[in-house]
Amino acid sequence: MQLQCPMPQLDFEVITLGHGSGGLLTNRLLDAGVFSLFHNDQLDQRHDGALLSFPGPVAFSTDSFVVSPVFFPGGNIGDLAVHGTVNDLAMCGARPQYMSLSFILEEGLSMQEFWDILVSIKFASEQAGVQIVTGDTKVVERGKGDKIFINTTGIGPIHPRAAIAMDRVAVGDKVIVSGELANHGIAIMSVREGLTFETDIVSDTRPLHQLVQTLLDTFGGAIHLLRDPTRGGVATVLSEVARDSGNGISLQQGALPVADGVAGACELLGLDPLYVANEGIFLAIVAPEEAEAIVATLRGIPGGEAAAIIGEIVAEHPRQVVMRSQIGGRRVVNMLAGEQLPRIC
């Protein structure tokens, strides 16, 4: 479901340098686009910043988005930019409350494309319950940017039962993934390379705060660490956890949820799904006695249907991730070296 928001009549069809001047054209662009779509008490002040209050502790996170192409199967840079920061907050155990929104537009971007992105941002922010309260718009010359880059920075209250920290990762903990691997990266790759597969592969871009909220409501301190495996994929994030916690991680290859179409595409493209970027799943390191119940809970929530236990924290091979194959083989899993799919988010 997508919001229907027809673009207003405007006297320009493309973004020009003047729209970044801070003057009349910037005001017209903001009136037509941003203020009409996102208006709220804070934005309507048109001040340099928003005035906020937080009774308790909050999480604060930023991300810049440069994904190419800007529109891809399952989403676009607009909803991706909202989900990205919503999810970084969720990984801190926080609910998204306020967000800033900053654009770097390339001269010549069509206003229709910009509008479609703005509408996606509106829909995604409403779905996530986050208010856009302050922002910025710059324009660079043709050839000095690439259509649109977006920064979102979010802030929101931390769940009262959250106790998420690297030093809570302990030997025996289970490693859970909330859904299928590699959908986002393969969806982007398929558009870039003009590939079509037998099944439609779409990005998994989605907000994760509801899933996390439910886990924290139900299991509280049994959730020791949360991470979303975006750039660098599951392999890189788990390598960082092994390095930073000082523990080993043992993965079961057969337990990794990968859709058949995605597995086939990965094979065709020579990619390991463990290194491909995701935008709608997370990894949870949890107390072993609650692991089965956590997976069962996730499976009952939209977006968590494919949740699975994929490994555990071990005392062996400290600071290393080791994958065990179905026939008993073992291989060390390292961080992504070099670059597999540039500008994936």
In the bound state with a copy of itself, the residue whose beta carbon lies nearer, of 3 and 52, is 52
In the bound state with a copy of itself, the residue whose beta carbon lies nearer, of 165 and 296, is 165
The single-letter DSSP state of residue 300 is T
In the bound state with a copy of itself, the residue whose beta carbon lies nearer, of 60 and 197, is 60
User: Considering the complex, what minimum distance in angstroms separates the CB of residue 28 from a copy of itself?
Assistant: 10
In the bound state with a copy of itself, the residue whose beta carbon lies nearer, of 6 and 338, is 338
In the bound state with a copy of itself, the residue whose beta carbon lies nearer, of 120 and 230, is 230
User: Considering the complex, what minimum distance in angstroms separates the CB of residue 1 from a copy of itself?
Assistant: 28
Which residue has 């880059």 as its token pair? 149
In the bound state with a copy of itself, the residue whose beta carbon lies nearer, of 167 and 200, is 167
From 138, 129, 264, select the one nearest 200 (Cα to Cα).
264
User: Considering the complex, what minimum distance in angstroms separates the CB of residue 124 from a copy of itself?
Assistant: 18
Could you tell me which residues are beta bridge partners of residue 252? 324
Helix orientation angle between 291-299 and 209-219, rounded to the nearest 10 degrees: 140
Burial of 184 (0-12, 13-18, 19+ CB in 10 A): buried
User: Considering the complex, what minimum distance in angstroms separates the CB of residue 282 from a copy of itself?
Assistant: 10
Helix orientation angle between 183-192 and 260-269, rounded to the nearest 10 degrees: 50
User: Considering the complex, what minimum distance in angstroms separates the CB of residue 308 from a copy of itself?
Assistant: 22
Q: How far is CA 164 from CA 74, 118, 169, 193, 271, in A?
A: 30, 33, 9, 39, 32
The region that residue 66 occupies, defined by phi over 0 for left and psi between -120 and 50 for alpha, beta otherwise, is alpha
Residue type (1 letter), 286: V
Q: How far apart are CA 101 and CA 92, in angstroms?
A: 20
User: Considering the complex, what minimum distance in angstroms separates the CB of residue 236 from a copy of itself?
Assistant: 5
From 83, 226, 57, 40, select the one nearest 156 (Cα to Cα).
57
In the bound state with a copy of itself, the residue whose beta carbon lies nearer, of 40 and 199, is 40
In the bound state with a copy of itself, the residue whose beta carbon lies nearer, of 56 and 302, is 56
68, 87, 48, 26: CA torsion to nearest 10:
30
User: Considering the complex, what minimum distance in angstroms separates the CB of residue 248 from a copy of itself?
Assistant: 19
The answer to whether 173 and 288 are in contact (CB under 8 A) is yes
The answer to whether 70 and 108 are in contact (CB under 8 A) is no
User: Considering the complex, what minimum distance in angstroms separates the CB of residue 118 from a copy of itself?
Assistant: 16
